[in-house]
Amino acid sequence: MLPNYRLVPEHTGADILEDLADFWKWFHAGKLDAYLSSLGYADLELDYNHLLATGDSAGGYMALMSALTQPKGSIKAVLAQYPMTNSLRPRKGPTFFGMPSPGPEVLDQHLATVKPGTVISSAIPPARNSLSYSMGAYGRHLEFFGRDEKLWPLGLIADAKWMPPTWIIHGDNDSAVDIGDSRAFVEQWKNGNVDGEVRLTVQEGQEHGFDIALKEDEEAWLKQGLEWMSTWVD
């Protein structure tokens, strides 16, 4: 299941976390069973006791924030690929994913088209890639997301008492989400003596989204990591 949530800059980080909380209320209230039944899957039995939260980039942010905000034991493990643990700050350069880097005007041009009250909660990449770059690379992401550090996994982990076993995967040449943010998150986890095991796997020279085409039977490190994950979820 993928939680639907409102997007920045039309909405705020607080809006996103409100949507995430609403998703978990819906999920634990048995609404998923009712939804699947309405689609003709009434005989499908869900196992709510073995729940893995996973996602990449912004989805990794949602997976980590779910683990940090949901009751202990409700999520058995987290797999986060190059997650946003801190604000969006893509690396500036002449190109971004093989295309000329967008300028700061892209954000202003987009904002000029936004109708007040419009709810934006869906976009298929690369539809908003230029917008995200323009907002983050020129220092305006927090202007819309919000400046409260508790809106971020890095701001919450310092005070966390426990976390489910968590595996973070990140390429050290990521131009969209800084590898330093994942390292800082793991460091805060360990320095804070958070109850729970965390692993960070850094892939040398790899960019954002490097794992999309990877296959478990062709990558020993991936197979080993997934086996470790399965010991907590099974």
Mean pLDDT along residues 88-111: 95
**Rounded-to-integer distance, Cα 103 and Cα 87, Å:** 19
What is the rounded average pLDDT of the residues 208-218?
95
pLDDT at 124 exceeding the cut of 90: no
Confidence of residue 32 (pLDDT cuts 50, 70, 90): very high
The arithmetic mean of pLDDT across residues 138-155, rounded, is 98
What are the Cα distances from residue 47, in Å, to 27, 31, 233? Answer: 12, 14, 11
Answer whether residue 185 is part of any domain: yes
Looking at residue 125, what is its pLDDT? 83
pTM of the model: 0.96
Which residue's structure tokens are 């705020």? Answer: 12
Sign of CA dihedral 169, 173, 177, 179: positive
Q: Could you give the number of structural domains in the chain?
A: 1
Mean pLDDT of 98-104: 94
- Flag whether 129 is in a domain: yes
The model's confidence at residue 130, banded by pLDDT at 50, 70 and 90, is: very high
Position 159 in a domain:
yes
pLDDT score, position 10: 97
- Note whether residue 36 is domain-resident: yes
Q: Is residue 86 part of a domain?
A: yes
Q: Which regions of 74-197 does DSSP assign to beta strands (E)?
A: 77-81, 95-96, 99-100, 166-171
Q: Which domain holds residue 218?
A: 13-233
Looking at residue 2, its pLDDT comes to: 87
pLDDT digits (tens, 9 = 90+) for 160-171: 999 999 999 999
Q: What is the domain-level CATH number for residue 84?
A: 3.40.50
Band of residue 182 on the pLDDT scale cut at 50, 70, 90: very high
**What's the whole-number mean pLDDT along residues 120-131?**
91
Q: Average pLDDT, stretch 26-42?
A: 93
When the pLDDT of each residue in the chain is averaged and rounded to a whole number, the result is: 96
Question: Is 6 within the bounds of a domain?
Answer: no
Handedness of CA 46, 47, 53, 54 (dihedral sign): negative
Omega prior to 3 cis, within 30 of 0: no
Task: Please report whether residue 32 resides in a domain.
Answer: yes
Nearest Cα neighbor of 106 from 138, 58, 150 is 138
What integer pLDDT is reported at residue 152 of this predicted model? 98
Q: To the nearest whole percent, how much of the chain has pLDDT over 90?
A: 92
Residue 88 lies in a domain: yes
Locus of tokens 């209230």: 29
